[in-house]
Every structure is written in structure tokens, then in C-alpha cells.
Structure 1
């Protein structure tokens, strides 16, 4: 893995964002990225995005991000603990932490920003002169990614989905890069490893990190709008496993045996069961249940018209139930369930 240089690469686009963090300084620094913000209530204020850097020696730079969506909690908890407890003397390299990157959404506990209504993870590479959310993704794309060798983006299902805890492979068009991503995901050693390409959407943080050449790992750590009993431990252990894999922490820091090399994949549009009408969704299967294409996935009930029989939703792919909607009420197009099946790609 490449070693980091002594000075940040130049920003590709002009930005008004600023920070007092010196990315080349050894030791531990905890601060903010300030993005000027001038709403009705504050003429010359700023949105302060938490930022921390821990550096020692000449090892690789790993960027760790959480809070991309503000209703996903395991990642921010894990990164906050690492920022507070890691001793710079115990690492070899540099860690750049963005533990609540979408600060307005994190503060509101929402998937999207209450400032501009945007989903940060559909705005990359952003716009340095755009809205707050677009400026955040531009800063990550233009300033943070050029500093890194690897990128870790910690997600869960948020308020609308409960997902089996898993590490996520972001596809890469280059074979060597794809193998790097898979090796890192397997080193995380989550109970499941799943290939998710977000239906090919290029505007996500992980897709943008891949285009920047970074070894990239994502996660989905349960969700349902709360902190689950088991996912935080999986996330804490997995991040330390990754840092040992990248050589930033000693290999003895890896806190679990390697995961099985079986990898799953959401098989494109057929992997998503979408609501066909408005009502209340009644699921028929627990997470992890093996299902078949054509099998009933659940029913949507119209509670205001007792004469109407429920709509039947069916799976369109074989696999296991990987994610399931958390709130009962749905409208047309809501994702009610997801299915993950075998990944047929080369794992070597």
C-alpha cells in the first residue's frame, strides 16, 4: 500500500471550507471542518463537521467515515471510541476520521439533511459552491480522498430498514482493485460479506472512493432506527481487523478469525421488493430466511377500506432475506425487503 506524502494534494476545485487540522502533523488532533453557512438565524456562521487525525510513522493513510446518513448509529459510536482511545504511538501510518460527516443529518437523526433535504450519499463528488450537503461531499472528494490509500464507510439500515450485519464490497472495474476491495472486506470478518453496487449509482461515497483508486470497504450494521445488541461489537471488531489488515495496527490487533470466503450479492433490481401501493406492510419472513423467486414476501394492507384484500408482494430472486423494512406504513415504491444471493465472481 502506498505511503502518504508530506503535504496534501492540491484541491481540484475552489472551496470556502476551512480547518485548523494539519494533516501532516504527527500525534492526535481533534477539530472541525468549517463550512460557511448563512441561514436566517446566523449571518456569518458555519456548519462544523467533526474531523480528527491520528498519525505516526510512514504507513498508509486510512480514511474512516460514519454519519453519512444521520439515522445510522453504530459507525459514529465506533469511530468516536477510536478517536478517544487510540494512542498515536500504537499505529504506523495515518488515520483520518469523519465520525459525523453529515453533521446536520446526524444532529437531526435523519437520513437526509434538514438544511437542504439532500441525501449526502447521492451527491458525490459534490459541488464546492453548492448547498451544504454538496459542499460536504465536495470537501471529502477533493481534499480528503486524495490524501488516502483506503476508505471505510460505516453504514447501517437507518430508520427505514433492518439489515443483517455485513461488510460491503464496492465493485471496481479494475481486476486488481476489485481483489483489494474483496480482501479488505473479508478481513473485516463480518458475519456476512455482500456485493452491493447501488444499482450502478456513481454518486455514492464508496463509488467515488473507488474512482479515486482507494481500497474501499462499506458496512451495513443492522439499523431499524436504533442501536442493536450485536452490531456495535461486530463494527468495533471489524474496524480493528481492517486497520491490522492495512498495517496501521499490529497484526495482533485483529480481534477475530478470518471470515468464510463465501460472498453474497444483491442481484440488481430483482433483489428489491418494492411496495405496489400505499398501506401497511406485513412481512412473512425473518432476516436470514432462504426464499425463492415467486414466493410471497408479504402483504400490504389497506386499513381504511376493509373490503379491499391485501396486495401480495413476491420475491423476484432466490437467496436469503437480507434486509426488511422497519416502519409498517409504506407508500408506492418503498423498499419492503431485499434479497441477497450467491456472488459468482472470482474471489482470488
Structure 2
């Protein structure tokens, strides 16, 4: 990692288990020469592939960091054939604050790739992943949840790729995760996400969305834990463990199309009219925005614009104009 502003004692070529930190320079008001210590572990043995496991992309999404912490503590390097680079809290300032965005610079880590090694803290973090970690790896697993603002059906995510061979590998890996749902998500075509950048770098990339609402649920943790172990077996890095049984739910394929996200046009309180997993049709009422400070004003309806399954619901009741209230996943097959 020469010619970069970060430092680490981790030797990425050494076999065994190493735990430590990548230290980014961070000079704030009360610490002239401080650092931001981002936790990292490398578990290496044999000559198999390298897989990056990332959690804490957003600081209010918890299942991924919990599962990655378990792997760091419990996995015997003797079971590994290859190398795991595990970063359970990559966006450390946001993780410590329990926020989607960094409290330091207000940036969303997952909209800053490829980053800037001499930029603000969040830009340095995305540059670290893009410039230093991606070149070491064959595969990238980015564990997300719905965060504080959304409840989402636990699912594995396909990031689209224009390379047919890579797309096939991604689809096989996402299928191996074995989540209750599989959803193609391009984040409205935004190229600045970690998964979009990993695909451009040629990595077999798997994303997740594990429940959310700023909470931790036993079901979502179990799906995440089992899915990660399934992936490590699929990649050939860790032998399958008979104790980690796959999810028995039938696999379904969906996508978030151009009409998936339903937004509020007003400031008020959102009342959903359906629960997650409900089959919905275009033209149905999805919910209503109420105006509590003016009871004379009738609620404003939000109407489904597409057929599909109710995949995501806003968690806080209060909304502003432009807030996403409802997400509909439409039946699809990955191309």
C-alpha cells in the first residue's frame, strides 16, 4: 500500500489469521495527528481464490457486521483454501454513529466510488476498497440491510454486468447464497456504488438486503449467516459445514424497474396500506400521506405504478417530498 495515505500492519500475503486495522490519517479539532482505525481481518491458507467480505457500508445496517464478526472470531484458518479479506465495519464513522451517512463529511460511502485517496474521509475509504482491496480479489460480497429508513424482504442482490461470462458467475453465486428472494438492483443506474465498481473491476459480486428498520432480527441474521457460509463453500474457500443448511424457501427472481420506487410529493406522515410480501397491482393505493398540522386537508394517496411484490416499506412515519415510501419488485429473470 505504498504511495497511499493509509497504513496497516496486516500482511496480505501471510498465511494464518491476522486481525488489525487500516489506519487513515484523521486530523480533527482535538487530535492533530490522529487516525481512523478501520478494523480488518485476513484469514489465508492454501492457494484458492480471494474473497472480500464487507459489512458496515452503511452504519445503520447490522446483520452483515454481526456475521462477519463471528467469522473473524470462529473460523479456523486450517479450513480455508484461499484468502478472506474481511472488513466488517468499512464505514467506521457511520457504524459508530448508527447512521447511513458519515457524520464526518455527510457523504454516503456507497455513492462515492471510486473515491479519492486525498479526498475527505469517506472518499479515502472508498478509494481504499477500490484501489487497494479490489485488485487483490476474485470475488466481493457486500452485506447490506434496509437501514433505518426501510424494511426490506431479506434477499440476495444481483448487480448487472455487461460481460455475459461474469454475469453468469454472479448469478450462480447469488443463487448459492440461497436467500428467500433474488433481486436485480442497479440502484437506478448509479455507477458509484461498491457493487457496481466491483463488477467493473471484474469481481464476482454478491450483494444482500437483510430486513432493516434499524433493528436486528433473528430471521435475517440466520439468512445472512447461512448465505455467507454457502458462498464461501461455492467459491471453494471454505468446505461446506453440514450444520449450515440452506434456506428451504423456493427461489424467486425479481428486479427493481424504473417504476419500483414510490415517492412522497409532500411533507407529512406516511400510512402504508399493505404489508411486506403482498402481491400488488398498478393502480392500487399503496398508502397515504397525512397532514397532521392541517386536519382540514385530505390525505394524499400514493398509488402503485407497477405490478409485483411489496419489497420495501419506509420505516419512519414522517416523510418529506422526495422520500421513498414504497418499493415494488417485479417478476423477472436475470439476463
1:205 Cα offset (Å): 0.3
- After superposition, give the CA deviation of every residue in 1:141-185 in whole Å (9 maximum; x if it has no partner): 000000000000000000000000000000011111111111100
In the alignment, what sits opposite 1:333? Answer: 322
**Is residue 2:114 matched to residue 1:125?**
yes
1:344 Cα offset (Å): 3.6
1:137 Cα offset (Å): 0.3
Q: How many residues align?
A: 334
Gaps spanning 5+ residues in structure 2: where? none
Query: In structure 2, do the counterparts of structure 1 residues 63 and 259 end up closer, same or farther at CA, with 3 Å as the change threshold?
Result: farther
In the alignment, what sits opposite 2:31? Answer: 42
Q: Distance in 1 between matches of 2:249 and 2:271?
A: 33
Secondary structure, in 3 states, of the residue corresponding to 2:168? helix
Q: Which ranges of 4 or more aligned residues in structure 1 deviate by more than 6 Å? A: none
In the alignment, what sits opposite 2:157? Answer: 168
- After superposition, give the CA deviation of every residue in 1:125-146 in whole Å (9 maximum; x if it has no partner): 1000000000000010000000
Give the conservation status (yes or no) of the 8 Å contact 1:187–1:258: no
**Is residue 2:234 matched to residue 1:245?**
yes
- After superposition, give the CA deviation of every residue in 1:293-332 in whole Å (9 maximum; x if it has no partner): 1110000000000100000001111000000000000000
1:256-275 aligned at under 5 Å gives the runs 256=246, 260-268=250-258, 270-275=259-264
Which deviates the most, 200-209 or 244-253?
A: 244-253
1:229 Cα offset (Å): 2.7
Aligned-pair RMSD on alpha carbons? 1.3
Q: Distance in 1 between matches of 2:249 and 2:135?
A: 30
Q: Distance in 2 between matches of 1:114 and 1:209?
A: 25
1:263 Cα offset (Å): 1.0
Gaps spanning 5+ residues in structure 1: where? 1-9
Give the conservation status (yes or no) of the 8 Å contact 2:178–2:251: no
Which deviates the most, 283-292 or 336-345?
A: 336-345
Q: Distance in 1 between matches of 2:238 and 2:8?
A: 27
Give the conservation status (yes or no) of the 8 Å contact 1:145–1:209: yes
Secondary structure, in 3 states, of the residue corresponding to 1:230? helix
Secondary structure, in 3 states, of the residue corresponding to 1:237? helix
Select which of 255, 273, 277 maps to 2:245. Answer: 255
TM-score for the superposition, normalised by structure 1 = 0.94
1:345 Cα offset (Å): 3.5
Q: Distance in 1 between matches of 2:276 and 2:55?
A: 24
Q: Distance in 1 between matches of 2:239 and 2:86?
A: 19
1:211-290 aligned at under 5 Å gives the runs 211-252=200-241, 255-256=245-246, 260-268=250-258, 270-290=259-279
In the alignment, what sits opposite 2:199? Answer: 210
In the alignment, what sits opposite 1:296? Answer: 285
